[in-house]
Amino acid sequence: MVDFPAFITRDSETKHILVGDESFALIPNGILAETYSRLLQSAGYDEVGKIMYESARKVAYEGQQHLIQAFNITLKTRQDFVNKLSELLFYISTFGYGIGEGVEQGEEFVFRIRHSFLGEYLKHKGLKKPVCHCLAGILAGGAQAYAELLAAPSLYSCVETKCIAIGDPYCEFHLAASKDDSTRTGAEKIGG
């Protein structure tokens, strides 16, 4: 067993689980995975993937923006940025999404997540494409929030290239700065 970090608390009135000021619900991973599986069947892979990615990206961006403001976080160097990206893996592990590790490769970051909750639950469904769009969205949104603290921020996107759900030993994500969209602010890029 692992204790939850001190920033996870409970609202004394509503009894909601809180991370900072944001309310969370404990929903079994099996329910989330089964819902996701049914969405894939009814709405299609591309549409569900897009919705899950963009939704997770927006929520992660807004959540990290809140933490940046609440704790007056600043970044001065690329190494500060890399350190913040590694904290995103801590959040992924803390919330039970999987166990993450990161490797920087030039301008691209590669993240591996073992025991992805979604990949593990969907690995026997006969899927042919990676399904952890929400994890890719979390990485992209978090990276975007921190990138905006740098002198020359970039828009970040993330793609899952390996997935437990299709037989890979882990899920792998490639996070990279995009070359386009440089005139819009972070909130506009995220859809806020």
Each residue of 124-166: pLDDT tens digit? 988 899 999 999 999 999 999 999 999 888 899 999 999 999 9
Residue 108 lies in a domain: yes
Which pLDDT tens digit goes with each residue over 83-131? 899 889 988 888 888 999 887 677 799 999 999 999 999 999 888 999 9
pLDDT at 15 > cutoff 50: yes
Q: pTM (2 decimals)?
A: 0.84
Residue 8 lies in a domain: no
Residue 21 lies in a domain: no
User: Which residues, in sequence order, are bridge partners of residue 174?
Assistant: 110, 159
**In this structure, what token pair is assigned to residue 117?**
């909750």
Residue 7 lies in a domain: no
Q: How many domains does the chain contain in total?
A: 1
Model pLDDT, residue 65: 93
Q: What is the CATH number for 117?
A: 3.30.1380.20
Residue 3 lies in a domain: no
Residue 4 lies in a domain: no
Buried b (16+ CB within 10 A) or exposed e, 113-147: beebbbbbbbbeeebeebbbbbbbbbbbbbbbbbb
Residue matched to tokens 């978090």: 142
Give the domain extent around 154: 29-190
Residue 151 lies in a domain: yes
Residue 24 lies in a domain: no
